[in-house]
Amino acid sequence: MPVSYLVADGISYAYDRDRVVDGVSFEIGPGEFVALVGPNGAGKSTLLRVLLGLLTTTSGKVLLFGQDPRSLKDRWRLGYVPQRPALARDLPATVEEVVMAGRLARTGWRRRLRAPDRKAVAHALEEVGLQNLASRRVADLSGGQQQRTFIAKALASEPDLLVADEPIAGIDAESQRRFRESLTHLVRQHGGSVLLVSHELGAVADDLDRVIVLKGKVLFDGPPADLAATGVSLGVHSEDLPLWLEALR
């Protein structure tokens, strides 16, 4: 039986006496496309930082590829797409240079990129539709194009698990479509897994294997169809993943 890529076992985290994550448990196995959703203040960002090893749990345990995330050796196995990076507007690098940096996470910074590496970079650029903008400065791109650049950077290392934190917030419809295609390609063609942290699932709702609803605790963990059967829409909401969450306890 394959080892789960990510295991969260009874994770809790508190700021002083304020417990924002309480007894959260779930696993993500190879080839799974999982969304983590919840309103502002639900603990999504805190949980994500614990899963990535940036915060130490108050209680419980996290395993990334069977290891403590803080001592993970093959870091390239974990791809990460943050919310739109503020540094993008001041970044002097070109699109291709940023994506190449993602490949170096796998090969090592001391080794020159070889033909297979350049092919992976070109493939990542093509996946997000930026092959014709490879020589452009990232700072000169639109917000959606900048975000697609950082998605390509994560894809270039050919990660086993890609974690994306609100990656499509505020970006255009074309970028959302490219984003969906790149994630489904990673899962279906490369056997990778995806953990998507988001308010909105309209762009990927039909491709998800599971949805985890977080509101301090896990309120739901299962197939999207089971959630939709309760009357929950996974599409675009006018507010912050709003009223239906209030009914979940």
Angle, in degrees to the nearest 10, between helices 115-127 and 95-107: 130
What SS3 class is residue 60?
strand
Instruction: Write the burial class of residue 43 (CB in 10 Å: 0-12 exposed, 13-18 middle, 19+ buried).
Output: buried
Distance CA 49, CA 44 (A): 9
Torsion of CA 228, 22, 52, 1, to 10 degrees: -70
* 228 C-beta neighbours (distance < 10 Å), count: 14
Which top CATH class is 6-246? alpha beta
State residue 166's pLDDT score: 80
What residues contact residue 127 under an 8 Å CB cut-off, 6+ apart?
152, 155, 178, 181, 182, 185
Residues paired with residue 37 on neighbouring β-strands, in sequence order? 213
Q: How far apart are CA 9 and CA 184, in angstroms?
A: 27
**How far is residue 208 from each of residues 22, 87, 109, 124, 190, measured CA to CA in Å?**
25, 31, 34, 21, 16
Count how many residues are written for the chain: 249
Rounded Cα–Cα distance for residues 26 and 44 (Å): 14
∠ at Cα 74 (69, 76), nearest 5°?
100
Q: Which two tokens stand for residue 107?
A: 């090969």
pLDDT at 170: 64
For 6, phi then psi, to 5°, come to -135, 130
Mean pLDDT split into 10-residue runs, the chain, 249 residues: 86 90 95 90 90 92 93 88 68 89 78 83 89 91 85 89 81 76 82 86 82 92 86 56 46
